[in-house]
Amino acid sequence: MNVVKTLDDLMCVRNAAVAFSESNHPAESVEIKISMATCGIAAGAREVNNYLAALTKREQIPVNIVQTGCMGYCYAEPTIEVTLPGGEPVVFGFVNNAKVDNIVTHYIRKGVMPEDAVWIKDKVQTGTDSSPRQLHIALRNCGHIDPENIDDYIKADGYLALGKTVTQMTPDQVIKIIMDSGLRGRGGGGFPTGLKWQITRKVEASRKYVVCNADEGDPGAFMDRSILEGDPHTVIEAMVINGYCTGADRGLVYIRAEYPLAIERLKVAMRQAREYGFLGERIFGTDFSFDIEIRYGAGAFVCGEETALIHSMEGKRGEATVKPPFPSESGYNGFPTNVNNVETYANIPAIILKGAEWFGRIGTGKSKGTKVFALAGKINKVGLVEVPMGTTLREVIFQIGGGIKDGKKFKAVQTGGPSGGCLTEKHLDLPIDYDNLLAAGSMMGSGGMIVMDEDDCMVAMAQFYLDFSVEESCGKCTPCRIGNKRLHEILQKITSGVGEESDLERLRNLAIVIKDTALCGLGQTSPNPVLSTMNNFYDEYIAHVRNQACPAHQCRKLTQYFIDPEKCTGCTLCSRSCSVDAIKGERKTPHVIDPILCVRCGTCFDKCKFNAVYVH
């Protein structure tokens, strides 16, 4: 493989890749893409891929089968996208071997949609500046290219932004484009990316570092993992551009070890980038050199904070430090260090190729571009979505997400993970951007979005997030180490039925103190779930302390299950399902639950087919 030394070389590589693809996959062949990210593989995508390859070979059907990253339809995995010669792509979900048979027999051979096929009709526009339900910029290649084939990335304008940057532009010109675009950090803080690069560039030092923060620790979040699994080259390209702009020659990717597939594909992409000359010495024939190493994290949530992350990479305890100095001035091993997260980097090549004005037309006044969300919880279409800033919560949850599971009523949505807050029905028409979410008592965060329905207890939800924050605290500052522990203890009292109304005032006051005095952003935002649920669901707190009752029937110590003798048929299903033998009764006679033995797991309630089990 020849090293790419000029933009003309890159165009030659691109043309050769296109020609090779066309010669090996003629126009009459069928293109089939298989979503082969973690979600797809876990659902059986590898088996589907192997079966599909064997079947089409046996049937002598000309096909081009491509593994891709996540297509976004995590709820429907395994998913495949089939494009017939001269036709439009059609995505099928919940694919298994039997459905592969029908898709091949009916759709690929005859163009007829099989009756049992799950045809995903969601449409995603890419590369335009209109405002569709989804607009993919950071995810522009995910689900479309083979993440382990650098030629696929090059065919999609890959490394063109890097070539133009280092051969035709000065670092200051590139930084100005990033600043003018309005791109803000997608990792949670929302700091202007171009300004961050400019600060690092202006610091004089013998060495500088560029860091990719891939330590995605929010419960329910999988945005960064999906980008690295589906489009690792875009992050590499952006990091090299960052190094050129800031004066760094070393890049570090800090990624949690729990992401084996993302790590594997990142390593493959780095090796390929070195072979083509996009990493290493004299990139594009210039005097600029840059290379990247991987650093592994052990899954500590606090290491998502940039100073704690840097300490972890240095082999020290992952603890936040007081700023200033900021990492841009003194970071990894004392050298200026520029830290951006995965999604932020994924926007950079597109902004350089299409311009600051293009990006600035998307989004709202102070929140430009799009945002990737990991949509999870009590929602029909769990998955990965990317929408223009300013899209409402209602559009994301009910249009893109397909509404609440099992016809239940929407209750709340938690944005920003443990650092965010719960938003309610009154917030559904709130345009999503940094400022609106903060004003509503939540935050953008890295992009987790967990939906809750009428069966969720908001007091228990606040306790869950506090439990997480207490477990993940680095312990350096007293407000976070001790204060959050006390908050958690008060919530435990309330959900156990021994709370008092005076506890509610203590809870709110302590949460405000922690918010004002904790050392780092993670500690300062950890009380958000408590404060937002108190602001929006105070009646549930009152019910817990005044009536010793959980309106959602989720707090076990405040819940008791009973069997209605008029409805019970004595089928014994409940007693056979009870793990602690708390249900007594003979066959065809009404059963009774022993309140002393009952552990309030709710299995009998879920299993009963006659609605005889009820909760008090």
pLDDT band at 265 (very low <50, low <70, confident <90, very high): very high
% of the chain residues with pLDDT over 70 = 98
Q: In whole angstroms, what is the distance from residue 106 CA to residue 114 CA? A: 6
Q: What is the pLDDT of residue 133?
A: 79
Reported as a single tens digit per residue, the pLDDT across 219-244 is 888 999 999 999 999 999 999 999 99
DSSP track, 139-207: TSSTTTS-TT-HHHHHHTTTTHHHHHHHHH--HHHHHHHHHHHT-B-TTTT--BHHHHHHHHHHS--S-
Q: What is the mean pLDDT of residues 428-454?
A: 91
Q: For tokens 């910029």, what's the residue?
A: 137
**550 contacts 457 by C-beta, under 8 angstroms:** yes
Predicted confidence (pLDDT) at residue 518 exceeds the cutoff of 60: yes
Domains within the chain, CATH numbers bracketed: 23-121 (3.40.30.10), 150-360 (3.40.50.11540), 370-453 (3.10.20.600), 458-546 (1.20.1440.230), 560-615 (3.30.70.20)
Q: What is the pLDDT of residues 448-467, one digit of tens each?
A: 899 999 999 999 999 999 99
Task: Give per-residue pLDDT as tens, 101-138.
Answer: 999 999 999 989 888 777 886 666 555 544 447 999 99
Instruction: For 296-352, write each residue's pLDDT tens digit.
Output: 998 888 998 999 999 999 999 999 998 889 999 999 999 999 999 999 999 999 999
The tens digit of pLDDT for each residue in 603-612 reads: 998 899 999 9
pLDDT at position 131, please? 41
pLDDT of residue 122: 67
Q: On the CB side of 464, how many CA atoms lie within 13 Å of its CA?
A: 16
Neighbours of 464 (CB within 10 A): 17
**What pLDDT, on the 0 to 100 scale, is given for residue 130?**
46
Q: Find the helix or strand (DSSP H, E) in which 295 lies.
A: strand 291-297
Q: Smallest Cα–Cα separation from 213: which of 316, 389, 331, 68?
A: 331
- 89-111 burial, b at 16+ Cβ within 10 Å, e below that, comes to ebbbbbbeeebbebbbebbbeee
What is each CA distance from 192 to 140, 284, 434, in whole angstroms?
22, 29, 12
**Chain mean pLDDT for the chain:** 92
Q: Is pLDDT at 25 greater than 80 in this prediction?
A: no
pLDDT tens-digit readout, 468-504: 999 988 889 999 999 999 999 999 999 998 999 999 9
Nearest to 293 by CA among 274, 276, 308, 277: 274
What is the rounded average pLDDT of the residues 512-533? 92
Structure tokens at 577: 């399902």
Average confidence (pLDDT) over 257-275: 96
More confident residue, 559 or 186: 186
Separation of first and last alpha carbons in the chain = 71
Higher pLDDT, 162 or 472: 162
One-letter amino acid identity for 203? V
Over 50: is that where the pLDDT of 554 sits?
A: yes
Cβ distance 76 to 94 under 8 Å? Answer: yes
